[in-house]
Amino acid sequence: MSAKPDLKIVLCSPRGFCAGVVRAIDTVERALDKYGAPVYVRHEIVHNKYVVDGLKKKGAIFVEELAEIPENTSAPVVFSAHGVPKSVPADAQSRNLFSLDATCPLVTKVHREAAIHFKRGREIFLIGHSHHPEVVGTLGQLPTGAVTLIETAEDAKTISPKDPNNLAFVTQTTLSIDDTAEIVALLKERFPNINGPHKEDICYATTNRQLAVKKVAPVVDALIVVGAPNSSNSQRLREVAEREGCGIAVLAQRATDIDWDKFGNIKSLGITAGASAPEVIVEEIMDAFAERYTLHVETVSAAEENEFFPLPRQVRPEAAAE
């Protein structure tokens, strides 16, 4: 039997779950423990099939709209980490649904910024991707027409505000750092008085994972991003790897997604995971490569992470004693 070829694996750090994702998943699991099944979840709690399927097995029922939830249920309804338009909690309240808000606090921060700008009479630009649930949620914080979506640098070059001296911008939290910087620079060049966030809207986890990929992508033959096709931060990681010169940069939800023809002649492989992808899938993919190669593993770190977001009050452990 011939010896397996050597393969250097370079793990990006940080990778995988961020504090907002941990909080969201824990919210559903705590609700199941405390109130029993079912627990309804509006939209995928995070964009990861493995996570969603695991919660389904425990008794979570995922719906896209509250209308899918039966009348007169006492079961909890959890809003996903991406945030929701204001109309959703209002609808839940009108139906006397017991809701738990698992919106990431960093998304809530963007909602608050937009509300403050609106209160101050500013025209607001939102840099983001249309139809992404986080963008839908942010647009839905304010009356229709109060926020204009900017998706590309071309949009930033051509947009015509009503009053160029009374503008503000906010951004989706899971964007490419570089793409967003280009759009913001264009807006500031065209509208020098535009108001931006005091602190970057792109979240720490998105930033850190992109920085790690920037370090690893130029020095490996291929890079796998563990993540779902509908995960914005995972797709941005793949794009960053391509931009940094990595010849093969692919997204994989599971080891079964790997096209082995692409990886036949590589000597080094980078692996990272989007903020909603669990470490168990990284291990699964490494195991799949270990069947074909002799692995030599190292880790390249771009930042330390120790963020923690408390759970919604209703499912905190101390809430049981109240």
91-131 pLDDT, tens per residue?
999 999 999 999 999 999 999 999 999 999 999 999 999 99
For 163-190, what is the mean pLDDT? 96
- Asked whether the predicted pLDDT for residue 61 surpasses 90, the reply is yes
Q: Which of 71, 134, 279, 291 is catalytic?
A: 134
- Asked whether the predicted pLDDT for residue 320 surpasses 80, the reply is no
**Residue 72 neighbours by CB distance under 10 Å:** 7
pLDDT for the residue numbered 198: 79
For 60-83, what is the mean pLDDT? 96
Q: Which residue has the tokens 């909890």?
A: 76
pLDDT for the residue numbered 200: 82
298 catalytic? Reply is no
pLDDT for the residue numbered 282: 98
User: Residue 317 — pLDDT band, cuts 50, 70, 90?
Assistant: confident
The answer to whether residues 223 and 241 touch, using CB atoms and an 8 Å cutoff, is yes
Tens digit of each residue's pLDDT (9 = 90 or more) over 234-262: 999 999 999 999 999 999 999 999 999 99
130 annotated to bind ligand: no
276 annotated to bind ligand: yes
Domains and CATH numbers, the chain: 6-17+204-301 (3.40.1010.20), 19-104 (3.40.50.11270), 106-190 (3.40.1010.20)
Q: What percent of the chain has pLDDT over 70?
A: 98
207 annotated to bind ligand: no
246 annotated to bind ligand: no
Q: What is the DSSP letter of 256?
A: G
pLDDT for the residue numbered 114: 97
Which pair of tokens denotes residue 305?
């992470």
Helices (H), 63-176: 87-94, 105-119, 133-139, 153-158
- Asked whether the predicted pLDDT for residue 195 surpasses 50, the reply is yes
Q: Phi and psi of 222, rounded to 5°?
A: -150, 160
Tens digit of each residue's pLDDT (9 = 90 or more) over 284-312: 999 999 999 999 999 999 999 999 999 99
Record the pTM: 0.93
Query: Which helix H or strand E contains 150, and what residues bound it?
Result: strand 147-150
